[in-house]
A and B are shown apart, each in its own frame.
Chain A
Amino acid sequence: MEDSQEIRLIDLAKNGDRDAISRLVTRYEREIFYFIYRMTRDVEDAKDLTQEVFIKVFRKLGGFKGNSSFRTWLYRIATNHTLNFLSRGPQLGMKAPLSALSDPSPSVSETMEKNERSGHVARAVHRLPRQQKAIVILRAYEGLTYREIAEVLGCSVGNCKAAYHNAVIKLREILKNEPLM
């Protein structure tokens, strides 16, 4: 649940207080941006979507009753908005083979190998069906609990757990079928 300062900021933001809105955005912008980035793997798309999500959040803030935490509610809107975006058609990002490097880094070879390996997993995540991708990113990368994911996706905790296990098993299959060279 929120701290009292956050509850106060939310109340002020409901009345259109610009400073409160700005402070709430500052508090969550990076977390939400990087979550959307992981979903889209495109910085510009993630930036546009993050802006749209926050605009939507504050436009709908009057309907936020505090039954879930503000953070979970943010993730709910961000997830639905991004899934909606992804459903509009194939995105261009992450189309390289899994064995390709994600971003060339001018660091030492050990770091490069680490990046290569994590980029390999990230590309495999990107190949999951979008709903499975969302659940893997929410749980494995963002660290949301099953209970929070259930609130975000509007499913039961049991269904979320089963969906996550299936997604991870599928992810392992993808990695097995296209191993890192």
Chain B
Amino acid sequence: MNPSCKNFQALIIDLQQGDPLPPKDREALERHLATCPDCRAFQQDIIQMFKEMGDETLPYLPDEFFQDMREKILHGLHESAPRRIHWARHFPNPFQSGWFSWRKIFVPVLTGICGVLLGFFLATTRTPSHPTPKSIVTISKIQETVVQKSPNALALVETLEDYITIDEFLDSLDDRDIQALLGELSRDLPESLLSETENGTG
């Protein structure tokens, strides 16, 4: 097999797949096939292989199978939907209840208490409660750095996209997930990126 065979084999695959080849490539391939028994054998094998792929019969599954699947999906979506708190059930509308008569006292007093609490909170809290730079993982950076290098990272990044921070991400996993992902992380993420994330420079 000469070195150009690999290029011709790529053309053979595309041709048998049904992709039209540019006339120049097609002529070059025909000339090559006339002189190369290896590529002729390759072409026969590829034709046979695609034919057999097309002949495959998939297991028949009744409509009930898919109906059951659909119901489980809808049920699963309902289960995972964020629970909405119906405040109206817990606090009656002040304008329709006895609270209304207190409005001149109750509303300013409540606002004042909230203001004091908020001021106290802001004055004493030095770090924001939401993701600190330390824990933020820049998804696009991971994508750029890793995705081209490792197939496993694709699945990892896909999962990460659901989460803002690595902490939230880890919180959401069970033990088995954590074992699997730690394996993926140590294999896929470059050392520099891992330490950068841990050191808070990311």
Contacts and interface: CB of A to CB of B under 8 A. Distances in A.
Pair from one complex: yes
A124 B125 CA distance: 60
A26 B77 contact: no
A172 B73 contact: no
Given A118-B56, A139-B17, A54 B73 contact: yes
Contacts of B50: 140
A39 interface: no
Contacts of A22: 70, 74
Interface in B147-171: 147-148, 151-152, 154-156, 158-159, 161-162
A21 interface: yes
B49 interface: yes
B46 interface: yes
Contacts of A121: 49, 52-53, 56
A8 interface: no
A34 B58 CA distance: 8
Q: Interface residues of A: mostly helix, strand, loop or mixed? A: helix
A14 interface: no
A34 B184 CA distance: 27
Contacts of B55: 114-115, 117-118
B76 interface: yes
A96 to B, nearest CB: 16
A165 B180 contact: no
A153 B143 CA distance: 12
Contacts of B34: none
A59 B17 CA distance: 36
Interface in A136-154: 139-141, 153-154
A76 B45 CA distance: 30
Given A26-B70, A175-B45, A117 B155 contact: no
**How would you classify the secondary structure of chain B's contact residues: helix, strand, loop or mixed?**
helix
B69 A58 contact: no
Contacts of B70: 22, 25-26, 29
Contacts of A117: 52, 55
A70 interface: no
Nearest to A139: B17
Contact of A155 (B46, B74, B148): B148
A119 B69 contact: no
A169 B45 CA distance: 10
Interface residues of A, number: 59
Nearest to B56: A118
Contacts of B13: 164-165, 168-169
B17 A140 contact: yes
21 contacts: A21-B73, A22-B70, A22-B74, A30-B66, A33-B61, A37-B59, A47-B65, A51-B69, A51-B76, A52-B76, A55-B77, A59-B162, A63-B161, A77-B158, A80-B158, A84-B158, A87-B152, A140-B17, A161-B10, A162-B10, A175-B49
Interface of B: 9-10, 13, 17, 42, 45-46, 49-50, 52-59, 61, 65-66, 69-70, 72-74, 76-77, 80-81, 143, 147-148, 151-152, 154-156, 158-159, 161-162, 176, 180, 184
Interface of A: 16, 18, 21-22, 25-26, 29-30, 33-34, 37, 43, 47, 50-52, 54-55, 58-60, 63, 76-77, 80-81, 83-84, 87-88, 103, 105, 114-115, 117-122, 130-131, 139-141, 153-155, 159, 161-162, 164-165, 168-169, 171-172, 175-176
Q: Which 9 interchain pairs have the tightest Cβ spacing?
A: A84-B155, A118-B56, A131-B151, A80-B158, A165-B10, A55-B76, A118-B55, A121-B52, A54-B73
